[in-house]
Amino acid sequence: MNVWNIVDSSLVNEDREYQENRKAKDSWWPSEALGCRRRAYYDLTIGRDQGKAMDILGLYRTKAGNVLHSWFFAAVANSGAFDWVEEEWAFRTPVDGLEMPVSGRQDVRGQLKGSSTVTVIDLKTSFGQNIRNIRQAGWRAIHPHYLGQMLCYLAFGSADEVILAFLGRDDQYRCQFTLTLDDDGRVVVDGNRSRVSVESVVGRWQDAEKALREKNAPERDFRAAIRDGEIVRFFQRQGKKFASDWQCRYCPYNEHCWADDLAKYRSGVNQEAFNDV
């Protein structure tokens, strides 16, 4: 008996079942607040047919993250720190200027003892340089992508504040930040105004909805490095590194989106795509 064959198959079957039961997209999700407009366009057009299934390493990565998150949120929810607490709280909120509502799920939300505000707790886990950056630079190193997601909880998910916790998966470094929205709709992190605002997030989604009406895929917001017909983490030329954005590496449409370059650079690298760097 090979135990890993059994576990691999169980992960693949679980994912297949999830994909088959997935509803067609009909709302904007917090996790894509500052995501790629073109990817959103693909989600809404070719999504169900052309999106690639995740590879087995991706399935393990996701499963490990999910297990860690479940354990973390159960520990927080059962800590006795709240007057009331809810888990897996879902919202679906219409937004001025958008055709689709914003919908999402907050893992843990509640009122901390003695507080009159609603606090959402969220966890991000990461490895290596990402966590080292946060350790060194603090809130400034938080990826805007995460701030966009938390903004949705604050602006559209009726939260007054978010406690955003980080855990280093390789060094167990732990820290947290408190996020609120100011009167201009900007995310404030531990008292510092960030650049991420309701206006910037809604503006991106408006662009994607316009592209959909015009049936015209938007420009790419991210970039893939291609070498010999494959999307790679990076390639080097004349001592310079040209790296794929992680959004493209993990995008289920990357082969569709970059089909022309994948064919054109069957041998060689797509340095042209980095001309403006």
Q: Are 125 and 178 in contact (CB under 8 A)?
A: no
State the minimum distance, in angstroms, from the CB of residue 219 to ligand SF4: 9
Closest to ligand SF4 by CB, 37 or 124: 37
Q: What span, in angstroms and rounded, lies between the C-alpha atoms of 52 and 88?
A: 27
Contact 118, 158 (CB under 8 A): yes
**Cα 163 to Cα 122: distance, rounded to the nearest angstrom:** 6
- Interface ranges with ligand SF4 (CB under 6 A): 36, 38-39, 42, 220-222, 224, 247-248, 251, 253-254, 257
User: Based on CB atoms, which residue is closest to ligand SF4, 159 or 273?
Assistant: 273
Q: Which is nearer to ligand SF4, 152 or 262 (CB)?
A: 262
Nearer to ligand SF4, 32 or 122 (CB): 32
Tell me whether residue 103 or residue 247 sits nearer to ligand SF4 (CB atom): 247
Shortest Cβ 47–ligand SF4 spacing (Å)? 11
121 vs 257 by CB, closer to ligand SF4: 257
Kindly state the smallest distance separating residue 73's Cβ from ligand SF4, in Å.
28
Output the smallest distance, CB 51 to ligand SF4, in A: 10
Write out 176-226 in H/E/C secondary structure: EEEEEECCCCEEEECCEEEEEEHHHHHHHHHHHHHHHHCCCCCCCCCCCEE
With CA atoms as reference, report the closest residue to 188 among 227, 147, 224, 216: 147
* Shortest spacing between CB 176 and ligand SF4, in angstroms: 29
- CA angle 71/130/258 to nearest 5° reads 105
Least distance (Å) from ligand SF4 to the CB of residue 252?
Answer: 8
**Tokens (6 digits) for 237:** 């030329």
